[in-house]
Amino acid sequence: MALPQSRACWQQLISQSLCTPEDLALQLNVSGPEIRRVVDKYPLRINPYALELIRGGSAAVRRQFVPDPAELQPDGLSDPDPLCEAVQSPVPGLIHRYPDRVLFLVSGQCAVYCRHCMRKRQVADSETVSPDTINAGIDYISRTSSVREVILSGGDPLMIDDSRLFAILEAVGRINHVEIIRIHTRMPGMLPRRITPELTRGLARFNPLYVNIQFNHPDELTREAIEACGRLAGAGIPLGSQTVLLAGVNDNPTTMICLMRKLLAARVRPYYLHHPDPVEATAHFRVPVETGLAIVEALRGNIAGMGVPQYVIDLPGGGGKVPLQPQYVIQRSDQELTVYNFEKKRYKYPL
Ligand SMILES: *Cc1c(COP(=O)(O)O)cnc(C)c1O
Ligand code: SF4
pLDDT band at 81 (very low <50, low <70, confident <90, very high): confident
Residues with Cβ within 8 Å of 300's Cβ and at least 6 positions away in sequence, in order, are 308, 326, 342
Helix/strand number for the chain, H first, E second: 12, 12
Residue 344 among the catalytic residues: no
pLDDT tens, residue by residue, 287-313:
999 999 999 999 998 999 999 999 999
Q: Could you tell me the domains of the chain?
A: 5-72 (no CATH), 94-324 (3.20.20.70)
Instruction: Please give the share of the chain, as a percent, with pLDDT higher than 90.
Output: 86
Q: Is the pLDDT of residue 86 over 80?
A: no
pLDDT band at 78 (very low <50, low <70, confident <90, very high): low
Q: Is the pLDDT of residue 184 over 50?
A: yes
Measured from the Cα of 95, ligand 1's closest atom is 13
pLDDT of residue 1: 47
Residue 98 among the catalytic residues: yes
Strands (E) located in 80-179: 94-98, 101-107, 149-154
pLDDT band at 3 (very low <50, low <70, confident <90, very high): low
More confident residue, 232 or 1: 232
State the alpha helices, DSSP H only, in 191-306: 197-204, 223-234, 253-265, 289-299
pLDDT tens, residue by residue, 194-231:
999 999 999 999 999 999 999 999 999 999 999 999 99
Residues with Cβ within 8 Å of 133's Cβ and at least 6 positions away in sequence, in order, are 91, 92, 93, 127
Cα(123) to ligand 2 centroid in Å equals: 7
Burial class of residue 213, CB neighbours in 10 A (0-12, 13-18, 19+)? buried
Phi, psi of 341 (to 5 degrees): -100, -170
Residues with Cβ within 8 Å of 291's Cβ and at least 6 positions away in sequence, in order, are 245, 251
pLDDT of residue 181: 98
pLDDT of residue 80: 67
| Pocket lining: 156 vs ligand 2, CB cutoff 6 Å | yes
Residues with Cβ within 8 Å of 95's Cβ and at least 6 positions away in sequence, in order, are 85, 88, 89, 102, 103, 105
Q: Are 158 and 187 in contact (CB under 8 A)?
A: yes
pLDDT of residue 301: 85
Q: What is the mean pLDDT of residues 76-89?
A: 74
pTM over 0.85: yes
Cα(103) to ligand 1 centroid in Å equals: 7
Q: Are 64 and 114 in contact (CB under 8 A)?
A: yes
More confident residue, 226 or 125: 226
Residue 277 among the catalytic residues: yes
C-alpha of 345 from chain center = 35
Q: Is the pLDDT of residue 243 over 90?
A: yes
